Chain A
Amino acid sequence: EVQLVQSGAEVKQPGEAVTMSCKASGYTFTNYWIGWVRQMPGKGLEWMGIINPGDSDTRYSPTFQGRVSISADKSSTTAYLQWNTLWAPDTAMFYCVRHRHGSGSFDYWGQGTLVTVSS
């Protein structure tokens, strides 16, 4: 069974960084791209970026370029999203997603990691 299990909720102060994880199981990790999607409270979905776990090639949305970093560890079949400097408006739910093979659509979603930024 394919599963993407994300790390738990985080509470951060403005100016801090956060790294969240996405543990993949039930399939060959290096064969499918992993992406990240943001959902701010009460809002829609925003694609942030993608990584090919096979070669660590990454692509970012212009909206998030320079603010986040996506990485992957093949040995632990885990993808990571690092947000470098958080501010209060950055409070959001973050989902990791598995891309359908060779496609830009997502067939599996993690349960989400809520990041709350508050002083």
Chain B
Amino acid sequence: EIVLTQSPATLSVSPGERVSLSCRASQSVSSNLAWYQQKPGQAPRLLIYDASTRATGIPARFSGSGSGTEFTLTISSLQSEDFAVYYCQQYNNWPPLTFGGGAKVEIK
């Protein structure tokens, strides 16, 4: 089973700041990695798939990069609606599909 480690677990930032979230895989997942955003009381939603492709309707301030074992989700200028928990997920070697533990972006 591929283990995904996200860091930091919690990030305190101010609106307008640039945010970078890391996801590290225990073995190569090629570019088969997705990012999801979950706000309190809501289901997650897909932000990025195939490591760097934005899902339909996702603002351009969200971008994904990386391949192999190291991945990054970047939010170029944090908006108030972006405070949430972010999860990475691999789909290179499955079953099982696996998620990272999540990274919470909170208001500073």
Interface residues of A, Cβ cutoff 8 Å to B: 35, 44-47, 49-50, 59-63, 95, 100, 103-107, 109-112
Question: With A95-B43, A112-B43 given, is the CB distance from A103 to B49 under 8 Å?
Answer: yes
For A112, what are the chain B residues with a Cβ–Cβ distance below 8 Å?
43
Contact of A59 among B45, B92, B95 (CB under 8 A): B95
Contact B91–A109 (Cβ < 8 Å): no
Contact B98–A47 (Cβ < 8 Å): yes
Interface residues of B, Cβ cutoff 8 Å to A: 1, 32, 34, 36, 43-46, 49-50, 55-56, 87, 89-92, 94-102
Q: What are some 25 contacts across the A-B interface (CB < 8 A)?
A: A44-B87, A44-B100, A45-B89, A45-B99, A46-B99, A47-B95, A47-B98, A49-B95, A50-B95, A60-B95, A61-B96, A100-B46, A100-B49, A104-B32, A104-B97, A105-B46, A105-B89, A106-B89, A107-B46, A107-B49, A107-B55, A107-B56, A109-B44, A110-B43, A112-B43
